[in-house]
A and B are shown apart, each in its own frame.
Chain A
Amino acid sequence: VQLVESGGGLVQPGKSLKLSCSASGFTFSSYGMHWIRQAPGKGLDWVAYISSSSGTVYADAVKGRFTISRDNAKNTLYLQLNSLKSEDTAIYYCARWTTEGIGDYWGQGVMVTVSS
């Protein structure tokens, strides 16, 4: 199992960014997936969830600004980040979620820095 995030970088407040998480080594379409972020020196903060059937749930802090999606044909998870704020600065991890409710595999993370 491997999860590899990409698409991070430095972006100005109010701008957009799209993160990708390429999955391999398992049947991607069968798993719910999450995005979880970690601000520098801080704890883990859940961002969004997409089920195997593409139902979605968002944290209040990102609702209306971020969109999680998946392309099962490409084994890829996405996170579209719009109207970015400085408080969105963090490492963003994608994680595979088990039916027991734990992230059993995590990507290495991708850094998003929102600054003018």
Chain B
Amino acid sequence: EIVLTQSPTTMAASPGEKVTITCHASSSVSYMHWYQQKPGASPKPWIYATSTLASGVPDRFSGSGSGTSYSLTINNVEAEDAATYYCQQWNYPPITFGSGTKLEIK
């Protein structure tokens, strides 16, 4: 089973700052997906296949990485970006998720 380690676990940013969340895989994976989840809601697909934004996702979000190291970056973070972000890999089931990064906006 591939273990995904996300960092940081929590973070706080001011509007307009740049934010980077990292996801490290215990073995090399072909790509990484990302979800956004707000309290009381289901996870939403956010970034597909490492770097493709899901429909409706603002272009201040971007994704990058390869092998065992991936990241989600938010340029000019806004209040609406407050949420928990999860990385996820699928080489084949078992699917695994990172433990999540909670982003708070100051």
Listed in ascending order, the chain A residues whose CB lies under 8 Å from chain B are 34, 36, 43-46, 49, 57, 59-60, 93, 100-104, 106-109
Shortest CB-to-CB span from A4 to chain B, Å, is 12
B95 at the binding interface (Cβ < 8 Å): yes
Given the complex, which residues of B lie within 8 Å of A109, measured CB to CB?
Answer: 42
CB of A101 within 8 A of CB of B33, answer yes
Q: Within the assembled complex, what's the spacing in Å between the Cα atoms of A46 and B92?
A: 12
* Chain A contact surface mostly: strand
Contact status B43-A103, CB under 8 Å? yes
Q: Is the interface of B mostly helix, strand, loop or mixed?
A: loop
B57 interface residue (CB < 8 Å to A) = no
Min CB distance, A40 to chain B, in Å?
12
Q: Which residues on B are within 8 Å of A, measured CB to CB?
A: 31, 33, 35, 42-45, 48-49, 54, 86, 88-90, 93-100
Q: Is the CB of B95 within 8 A of A46?
A: yes
Task: Please name the residue on chain A nearest to B99 by beta carbon.
Answer: A43
Is A101 a contact of B90 with CB atoms below 8 Å?
Answer: yes
Q: Using Cβ atoms and an 8 Å threshold, which residues of chain A touch B94?
A: 46, 57, 59-60
Which residue from chain A places its CB closest to the CB of B93 in the assembled complex? A57
Q: Is the CB of A46 within 8 A of B93?
A: yes
* Cβ B43 vs Cβ A46 within 8 A: no
